[in-house]
Amino acid sequence: MKAAVLNQVGDTKLELREDVTTADVGPQEIRIRVKATGVCHSDLSAMDGTLPALAPGIIGHEGAGEVVEVGGLVTTLTPGDHVVLTFVAPCDDCVNCHRGQPHLCAVNAIAAFSSPRFRVGETAVFGYAGLGTFAEELVVPASAAVKIDDDVPFEIAALVACGVMTGVGAVINTARVEPGASVLVIGCGGVGISVIQGARLAGAAQIIAVDPVLDKHETAKRFGATHATTPDGLAALNAELAGNMGFDYAFDVVGIPATIRSAWDNARRGGTVVVVGAGRADAMVEFSAQELFLHDKRLVGSFYGGANVQRDYQRLLQLWRTGRLDLEGMISKRITLDEINDGLDALRGPGGLIRQIVTFS
Ligand code: CXF
Ligand code: ZN
């Protein structure tokens, strides 16, 4: 089958190959034919070493498709089912799953680093984050797929698998923003736009979008931002809207020290700072010991929007069905797998793209 292979971490191009094969389907696994996958910033982060990934590998982690084969012990899915994938396949039997935090289950994520599920000839090829959706097919644990209704377009379903779950989940699961709140969102890519949509759903009174790219300001407003500015303009908006006291909630959706620090600085005393951006392991952020206690802020991380995928995918798609979550509007461009390197280049550039979706026939 066809897949886009990352030969080495550090490569800026993927190699399109026709001779990639998948592992056989194990008793608890399923084979998926990928129908749509988003191009997410974390795919670039896998390529450049910002986030951990093994090479050779197939990246892509925001996908939806159709079940084409199930292992002998799988009772939850059957061939023909339409599914949204998850890069955190819960094992259902670890402390995190038992305490109701399946998004923190590391069992299958760790396994993905030791059990490659693709091959090229005799060479083992890893799937990024336990998936690898830049391929026509993949084999995953059955719990990496959540069944959805057949009438949901695959490109809409794919968006839910990473960006929308991560962004909306950060607002409703992690921060639990309440009606009337003021919400600052730093970074307006696919996840940032999803945070903005989540804040709108939660009834935030003010949603302040920050991005250096001017094109993204109108986009942010289309999805619910009440104000938009460049990083340089943030201090003036803090003064105008909050009397320099800061906002109730501040979301960093970039993941670099400067933006995390800016989220902290622009949250009010007693407010909540949420780090959603996926940063480097060696990027350090400084806080003084005094400000950490004196400002009485909650500083929280949000991984995968605190997802319980069996509950939340359905919930997000219901919000889409009833017109409360705009997913169509998040698709900037449709491309084919053959065009993936152009798509990655476009995402590296400064443009206002929210999501490019790779569709498969
Ligand atoms: C990432 C987090 C690390 C694994 C891949 C997905 N989240 C969002 O893109
Ligand atoms: Zn992602």
Question: Each residue of 113-144: pLDDT tens digit?
Answer: 899 999 999 999 999 999 999 999 999 999 99
Q: Is the pLDDT of residue 352 over 90?
A: no
> Residue 224 C-alpha to ligand 1 middle, in angstroms?
24
Q: Is the pLDDT of residue 290 over 90?
A: yes
Q: If we measure between CA atoms, which residue out of 272, 64, 95 comes closest to residue 164?
A: 64
Q: Which ligand is nearest to the CA of 106?
A: 1
> Residue 231 C-alpha to ligand 2 middle, in angstroms?
24
Q: Is the pLDDT of residue 353 over 90?
A: no
> Residue 10 C-alpha to ligand 2 middle, in angstroms?
18
If you take atom 6 of ligand 1, which residue's CA is the nearest one? 42
Q: Which ligand is nearest to the CA of 276?
A: 1
Q: Which ligand is nearest to the CA of 131?
A: 1
Is 166 touching ligand 1 by the criterion CB < 6 Å?
Answer: yes
Q: Which ligand is nearest to the CA of 253?
A: 1
Task: Say if strands 267-275 and 298-301 run parallel, antiparallel, or are unpaired.
Answer: parallel
Q: Is 40:190 a contact under the CB 8 Å cutoff?
A: yes
State if pTM tops 0.85: yes
- Residue with the two structure tokens 């990928």: 34
Residue-wise pLDDT tens digits, 37-47: 999 999 999 99
Is 42 touching ligand 1 by the criterion CB < 6 Å?
Answer: yes
Average pLDDT, the chain: 97
Is 51 touching ligand 1 by the criterion CB < 6 Å?
Answer: yes
CATH number belonging to domain 3-151+327-359: 3.90.180.10
- Residue 169: the pLDDT is 98
The proportion of the chain whose per-residue pLDDT surpasses 90, expressed as a percent, equals 98
Q: Is the pLDDT of residue 95 over 90?
A: yes
What CATH fold (topology level) applies to the domain 166-303?
Rossmann fold (3.40.50)
Strand arrangement, sheet containing 3-6: 15-17, 3-6, 57-58, 123-127, 118-120, 20-22
Which atom of ligand 1 is the closest one to the Cα of 41?
9
If you take atom 4 of ligand 1, which residue's CA is the nearest one? 129
Residue of 58, 87, 195 to test ligand 1 pocket, by largest number of atoms within 8 Å of CB:
87
Is 31 touching ligand 1 by the criterion CB < 6 Å?
Answer: no
Which residues have their alpha-adjacent CB atom under 5 A from ion ligand 2?
A: 40, 42, 162
Is 253 touching ligand 1 by the criterion CB < 6 Å?
Answer: no
Burial category of 235 from C-beta neighbours within 10 Å (exposed 0-12, middle 13-18, buried 19 and up): middle
Average pLDDT over residues 271-281: 98
Tell me the two tokens of residue 322: 């009833």
Give me the residue spans of the domains in the chain. Answer: 3-151+327-359, 166-303
Is 129 touching ligand 1 by the criterion CB < 6 Å?
Answer: yes
Q: Is 164:188 a contact under the CB 8 Å cutoff?
A: no
3-state secondary structure the chain: CCEEEECCCCCCCCEEECCEEECCCCCCEEEEEEEEEECCHHHHHHHHCCCCCCCCEECCCCEEEEEEEECCCCCCCCCCCEEEECCCCCCCCCHHHHCCCHHHCCHHHHHHCCCCCEEECCEEEEEHHHCCCCECEEEEEHHHEEEECCCCCHHHHHHHHHHHHHHHHHHHHHHCCCCCCEEEEECCCHHHHHHHHHHHHCCCCEEEEECCCCHHHHHHHHCCCCEEECHHHHHHHHHHHHCCCCEEEEEECCCCHHHHHHHHHCEEEEEEEEECCCCCCCCCCCCCHHHHHHCCCEEEECCHHHCCHHHHHHHHHHHHHCCCCCCHHHEEEEECHHHHHHHHHHHHCCCCCCEEEEECC
Residue-wise pLDDT tens digits, 29-86: 999 999 999 999 999 999 999 999 999 999 999 999 999 999 999 999 999 999 999 9
Is 87 touching ligand 1 by the criterion CB < 6 Å?
Answer: yes
Is 61 touching ligand 1 by the criterion CB < 6 Å?
Answer: yes
Q: Is the pLDDT of residue 157 over 90?
A: yes
> Residue 278 C-alpha to ligand 1 middle, in angstroms?
7
- Residue 361: the pLDDT is 84
